[in-house]
């Protein structure tokens, strides 16, 4: 049995110039945290305003925003300022502890800002990777991400402990790109403050500015695109603004001729195309995923059931293959997006694992490891090319047996 899966690698400038209808394909989104995912700044302002009002004073909001928000070191001490304004000796330690308790209490159940959850969900379905680049500490960021149910959606979370310099220096974003193994042109950054925009821009990223009610007081952000809220523009539209028009979705009847053309062109034979048609006709196609670019089908991935001997109750898996990209669209990043989008779709369908035959050096980037490490064997060899991925952690724990693709693979000579 031949190799089932073929796909493209990362995007290449040569590929961009070699195809006249080529448009950019992003691989990841990198988010700031405070003020972008969670509005942690408004409660703090409210606390200071209320404290100042108790002493008959007005909190210097504009100065606080200018010198504290997004700054590496806060250059305004609100309690020292209040003491100067009132001329009264204050118990700064007691007031500081009171402010911190109230702030933490108010921030403990904050919801995500509008549009954030939708962007994260849409990004996963579009095969995009996700990262956080925040000047705040891990304890703060990780805790809130877990509370919101977002933590496992991110491929990497970069915080102040992970970089030598904080914003407006680019180190946090450079660390995020390094963790993702991406170039700056392959990712988009989202920021709410001038220092954050400067940091992302200095790292070579294109930046979407989304000021909140506090950072908006600093004036227009010097970003490549400004939004009042992430809810104002769905993610596909935002990607299209930057030249990424790649669409990924389960096949429709209109896609069928394009799917066959992609399979035949990618493999230089008709066997894989015959397999796809036969699996579809016999109801064996669990997911047939297409990538649409330049008005037509440029990529395709097929997921079909696999059988396990002996059977394991509640352990449902799929075989991936074939996966194919038109030759002129290979090495553009489309294959990576198609792979991730397909895996996300079948995870949401309730499947626990996926197997494939392919190049370990390539598929390891998606989390695949040799099937034998899970105690699995196959009819297709026991080498590293036979790989498995748990879509739900622990699915294959204690599972042992031999896996096999649907018989249509042998019927069509794949």
Q: Is 109 a catalytic residue?
A: no
Could you tell me the residue ranges of all domains in the chain?
13-20+246-411, 28-38+111-241, 41-107
Q: How far apart are CA 345 and CA 351, in angstroms?
A: 9
Q: How far apart are CA 184 and CA 176, in angstroms?
A: 10
Q: Is 18's pLDDT higher than 50?
A: no
In this predicted structure, what is the pLDDT of residue 4?
A: 44
Residue-wise pLDDT for 350-359, tens only, equals 999 999 999 9
**303 beta partners:** 287, 320
- Collapsing DSSP to helix, strand or coil, 334 comes out as helix
Q: Is 315's pLDDT higher than 90?
A: no
For 28-38+111-241, CATH number out of 3.40.250.10, 3.40.50.1000, 1.10.3720.10, 3.40.30.10 equals 3.40.50.1000
Q: How far apart are CA 79 and CA 101, in angstroms?
A: 15
The burial of 202, by beta-carbon neighbours within 10 Å (0-12 exposed, 13-18 middle, 19 or more buried), is given as: middle
Q: Is 163's pLDDT higher than 60?
A: yes
In this predicted structure, what is the pLDDT of residue 312?
A: 81
Lowest mean pLDDT among 18-22, 35-39, 76-80: 18-22
Question: What rounded mean pLDDT belongs to the chain?
Answer: 91
| 153-166: average pLDDT | 97
| 373-395: average pLDDT | 90
Q: Is 53's pLDDT higher than 50?
A: yes
Q: Is 3's pLDDT higher than 70?
A: no
- Eight-class DSSP state of 60: -
Q: How far apart are CA 362 and CA 354, in angstroms?
A: 16
Residue-wise pLDDT for 55-112, tens only, equals 999 999 988 887 777 555 556 789 999 999 999 999 999 999 999 999 999 999 999 9
Longest pairwise C-alpha distance within the chain:
89
Q: How far apart are CA 302 and CA 287, in angstroms?
A: 6
Contact 369, 343 (CB under 8 A): no
Is residue 380 very low, low, confident or very high in pLDDT (cuts 50, 70, 90)? confident
Q: Give the long-range contacts of residues 142-150, CB within 8 A, separation 24 or more.
A: 144/33, 144/37, 144/38, 144/110, 145/33, 145/37, 148/37, 148/38, 148/112, 150/37, 150/112, 150/117, 150/120
Among 34, 192, 274, 384, the active-site one is: 34
Residue-wise pLDDT for 187-245, tens only, equals 999 999 999 999 999 999 999 999 999 999 888 999 999 999 999 999 999 999 999 99
| 155-165: average pLDDT | 97
Q: Is 32 a catalytic residue?
A: yes
Among 32, 142, 169, 171, the active-site one is: 32
Q: Beta strand pairing status for 376-378 and 401-404? A: parallel
Q: Do domains 13-20+246-411 and 28-38+111-241 have the same CATH topology?
A: no
Which residue reads 């059977």 in tokens?
311
Q: Is 2's pLDDT higher than 50?
A: no
Q: Is 23's pLDDT higher than 60?
A: yes
Q: How far apart are CA 404 and CA 377, in angstroms?
A: 9
For 13-20+246-411, CATH number out of 2.60.40.1930, 3.40.630.30, 3.30.390.50, 3.90.920.10 equals 3.40.630.30
| 143-164: average pLDDT | 97
């Amino acid at each position: 049995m031949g190799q089932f899966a073929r796909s493209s690698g990362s995007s290449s400038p040569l590929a961009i110039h070699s195809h006249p209808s080529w448009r950019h394909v992003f691989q990841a989104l990198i988010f700031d945290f405070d003020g972008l995912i969670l509005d942690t700044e408004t409660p703090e302002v409210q606390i200071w305003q209320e404290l100042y009002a108790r002493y008959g004073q007005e909190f210097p909001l504009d100065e606080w925003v200018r010198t504290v928000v997004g700054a590496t070191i806060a250059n305004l001490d609100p309690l020292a300022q209040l003491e100067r304004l009132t001329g009264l000796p204050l118990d700064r330690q007691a007031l500081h502890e009171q402010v911190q308790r109230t702030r933490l209490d108010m921030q403990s159940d904050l919801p995500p800002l509008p549009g954030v959850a939708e962007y994260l969900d849409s990004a996963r379905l579009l095969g995009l990777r996700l990262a956080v680049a925040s000047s705040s500490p891990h304890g703060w960021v990780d805790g809130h991400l877990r509370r919101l149910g977002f933590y496992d959606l991110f491929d990497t979370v970069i915080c102040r402990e992970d970089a030598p310099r904080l914003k407006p220096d680019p180190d946090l974003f450079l660390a995020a790109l390094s963790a993702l193994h991406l170039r700056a042109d392959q990712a988009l950054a989202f920021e709410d403050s001038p220092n954050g925009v400067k940091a992302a821009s200095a790292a070579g990223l294109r930046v979407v500015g989304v000021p909140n009610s506090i950072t908006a007081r600093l004036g227009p952000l010097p970003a490549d695109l400004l939004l009042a809220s992430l809810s104002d523009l769905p993610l596909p539209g935002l990607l299209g603004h930057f030249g990424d028009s790649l669409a990924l979705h389960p096949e429709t009847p209109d896609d069928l001729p394009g799917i066959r053309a992609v399979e035949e062109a990618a493999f230089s034979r008709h066997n894989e195309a015959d397999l796809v048609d036969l699996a579809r006709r016999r109801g064996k196609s669990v997911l047939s995923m297409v990538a649409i670019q330049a008005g037509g089908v440029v990529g395709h991935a097929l997921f079909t059931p696999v059988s396990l001997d002996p059977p394991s109750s509640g352990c449902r898996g799929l075989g991936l293959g074939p996966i194919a990209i038109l030759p002129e669209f290979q090495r553009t990043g489309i294959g990576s997006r198609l792979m991730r989008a397909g895996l996300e779709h079948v995870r949401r369908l309730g499947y626990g694992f996926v197997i494939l035959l392919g190049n370990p050096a390539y598929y390891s980037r998606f989390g695949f490891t040799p099937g034998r490490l899970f105690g699995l064997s196959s009819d297709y060899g026991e080498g590293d090319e036979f790989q498995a991925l748990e879509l739900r952690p622990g699915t294959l724990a204690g599972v042992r047996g031999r896996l096999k693709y649907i018989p249509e693979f042998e019927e069509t000579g794949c």
